[in-house]
Amino acid sequence: MIETRNLTKDFGSLQVLRGISETIQDGEVISIIGPSGSGKSTFLRCLNLLEVPTSGQVIFDGVSLTDKGVDINAYRQRMGMVFQHFNVFPHLTVRENITLAPVLLKKRAQKEADRFADELLARVGLLDKATEHPRRLSGGQKQRLAIVRALAMEPEVMLFDEPTSALDPEMVGEVLQVIKTLVKAGMTCIIVTHEMGFAREVSTRVLFMDEGRIEEQGSPEQLFTSPTSPRTQAFLGKVLR
Amino acid sequence: MFANFGPNMLKVLGRYWGLFLQGAGITLLLSAITVFFGAILGSLLAFMRRSRLKPVSGFALSYVELIRGTPLLLQLYLITFLLPELLPMLNLSKFASVTVALVLNSAAYVCEIVRAGIQAVDPGQTEAARTLGLSARQTMVRIVLPQAVKNILPALGNEFVTVIKETSLASTFFVGDLMTVYKTAQGATFTVIEPFLIVGVIYFVLTFSLSKLITTFERRLKASD
């Protein structure tokens, strides 16, 4: 579904990604873990070209997204993304946050979009907030809103960029629960996370990134219990205790 | 000098109160026109500055720097002398030329206000909109601008306050604004301090009440965030 070929990204003289070739299949749930600065988020952001790769290719559904003439907006509609800092739209109501893109881009009738929005909101327990503005929401509620806002476009894959890192500890669970439900429903997910327990529980495959490369990967069972690379061992030794 | 202060004050006020009011009106009118067209032209410049085309953004940048880097009085002189020479067919009045100069000046400052207002919107907002599939233009119109307006409007109000004070320079060309009235009253009555005080109080009342209004408005905007 998504393939990268020798993907690199430089920020000035800093090489953040040093050639990543990876294929993600339909239905996979990938967790990307690793120390800060290892390029996890940058890799994720390259997949929908939020960061333009310095070299290499991102191939989605057989199309190289960096090619000239590719309408990236059309492809972004098929890839949902959730950010660390939620980025919900403060000037719109909760429901409007969700319906904006489907009405504007998929030419949905407002009524129909509203109905779908309410259905999504009900699923994440926010239906009673539909007409509120996001300022009235807690962090966890904002993130749940951000997730259903992305889902309203009916994407084929969801990208999560540290979705729980900015949350108060007591709100992490509610957001992870929503992601788990998504995974159970068969959504392809790519999740950059520091929640090791969660990564182990939901992933079909875990990538460990370090210094702009995928240092090691495997099933969660294998990677968390018997990592082979010394770097993976060192990292996991620090975070799992 | 001060012995006659009271009688002089009464004399000046009694004879010229109508003119002072009219001057205040013209000052307000001049400022309003300046800010209105300055806002339009300034917004245009702000978008030019954000353009990816180098000549376009370069032009806007140079314009802003040039205007902000030279005195308004010089610009007023230049425009009021130059404009009728360059475009004689328009048959511009002094008032019109002065207004044009003030607008051209204010636009540069508004450009920076609009630019800063747009820049102050969290880049995460743009990222979220773009990942949903919105184009750059849709993102600007639907997501960034509605939020930027909240930064821009209060700053535009402050620009209004500044312009009210700056229009006093227009009195160099006797366009009938408040400062022109001062010159008239001063010349006719041979009093200096009294008309100064009157004009000063009027300016202060105008700017102070406007500032208060903006503060209230700003608080309302904040409350709706």
The residue ranking higher by pLDDT, A179 or B172, is A179
Place of tokens 């500890």: A169
Angle, CA A129 vertex, CA A128 and CA A135 arms, to 5°: 160
Beta-carbon count within 10 A of A81 CB:
25
| Contacts for B120-125: CB closer than 8 Å, 24+ residues apart | B120/B148, B120/B151, B121/B147, B121/B148, B121/B151, B122/A87, B124/A83, B124/A85, B124/A87, B125/A87, B125/A89
For B125, the closest of A74, A89, A153 (CB atoms) is A89
Taking the C-alpha atoms of residue B39 and residue B37, their distance in angstroms, rounded to an integer, is 5
Give the whole-angstrom CA distance, residue B109 versus residue B203.
Answer: 21
Closest partner residue to A105 (CB to CB) among B125, B128, B133 is B133
Inter-residue contact A26 to A188 (CB < 8 Å): yes
Sheet with A188-192: list strands edge to edge: A79-82, A157-161, A188-192, A29-33, A205-210, A213-218
ipTM: 0.92
pLDDT of residue B31 exceeding 90, the answer is yes
| Chain B residues close to A77, C-beta within 8 Å | 132-133
Q: Which residues contact A123 (CB under 8 A, 6 or more apart)?
A: A148, A181
A88 touches chain B (CB under 8 A): yes
pLDDT value of residue B1 = 56
How distant is the Cα of A160 from the closest Cα of chain B, in angstroms?
12
Residues of chain A contacting residue B147, judged by C-beta atoms under 8 Å apart: 90-91
Q: Cα–Cα distance between B71 and B78 in angstroms, integer? A: 11
Separation between Cα atoms, residue B148 and residue A196, nearest integer Å = 39
Task: Give the DSSP letter of residue A34.
Answer: -
**Residue pair A192/A208 in contact by the 8 Å Cβ criterion:** no
Question: SS3 of A152, please?
Answer: coil
Residue from B132, B147, B225 whose CB has the most chain A CBs within 10 Å, to mutate:
B132
**In a mutagenesis test of the B interface, which of A50, A78, A91 is the best target, namely the one with the most B β-carbons within 10 Å?**
A91
What whole-number distance in Å separates Cα of residue A67 and Cα of residue A86? Answer: 30
B84-118 residues labelled b (16+ CB within 10 A) or e (exposed) = beeeeeeebeebbbbbbbbbbbbbbbbbbbbbebb
Higher pLDDT, B22 or B88: B22
Q: What is the mean pLDDT of chain B?
A: 91
Q: What is the pLDDT of residue B225?
A: 61
Question: Which pTM value belongs to this model?
Answer: 0.86
| Nearest residue on chain B to A104, alpha-carbon basis | B134
Confidence check: pLDDT of B53 > 60: yes
As a whole number, mean pLDDT of residues A144-155 equals 96
pLDDT of B219 reads: 87
pLDDT at B224 over 70: no
Q: Where do runs of H (alpha helix) occur along A23-166?
A: 40-47, 72-76, 94-105, 110-123, 139-151
pLDDT band at B192 (very low <50, low <70, confident <90, very high): confident
B-chain CB neighbours of A98 within 8 Å are none
Residues A37-65: tens digit of each pLDDT: 899 999 999 999 999 999 999 999 999 99
Kindly state the average pLDDT of the residues B11-29: 89
Query: What are the tens digits of pLDDT across the range A218-228?
Result: 999 999 999 99
Q: Which of A73, A83, A153 sits opposite B128 (nearest CB)?
A: A83
Contact B16, B199 (CB under 8 A): no
pLDDT in tens, B71-122: 999 999 999 888 888 888 877 888 899 999 999 999 999 999 999 999 999 9
- Looking at the complex, report in whole angstroms how far the Cα of residue B144 sits from the nearest Cα belonging to chain A: 9
Residues 124-163 of B with CB under 8 A from A: 124-125, 127-135, 138, 142-143, 146-147
Mean pLDDT of A173-178: 94
CA B221 to chain A, closest CA, distance in angstroms equals 11
Q: What angle do CA B53, B56, B62 make, to 5 degrees?
A: 130
CA A68 to chain centre: 25
Give contacts of B128 with chain A, Cβ < 8 Å: 81, 83, 87-89, 146, 149
User: Domains in chain B, please, with CATH?
Assistant: 5-224 (1.10.3720.10)
Taking CB atoms and an 8 Å limit, are B132 and A101 in contact across chains? yes
User: ∠B87-B91-B95 over CA atoms, to 5°?
Assistant: 105
Q: What per-residue confidence (pLDDT) applies to B160?
A: 95
Tokens of B78: 């230049």
DSSP annotation of A17 reads E
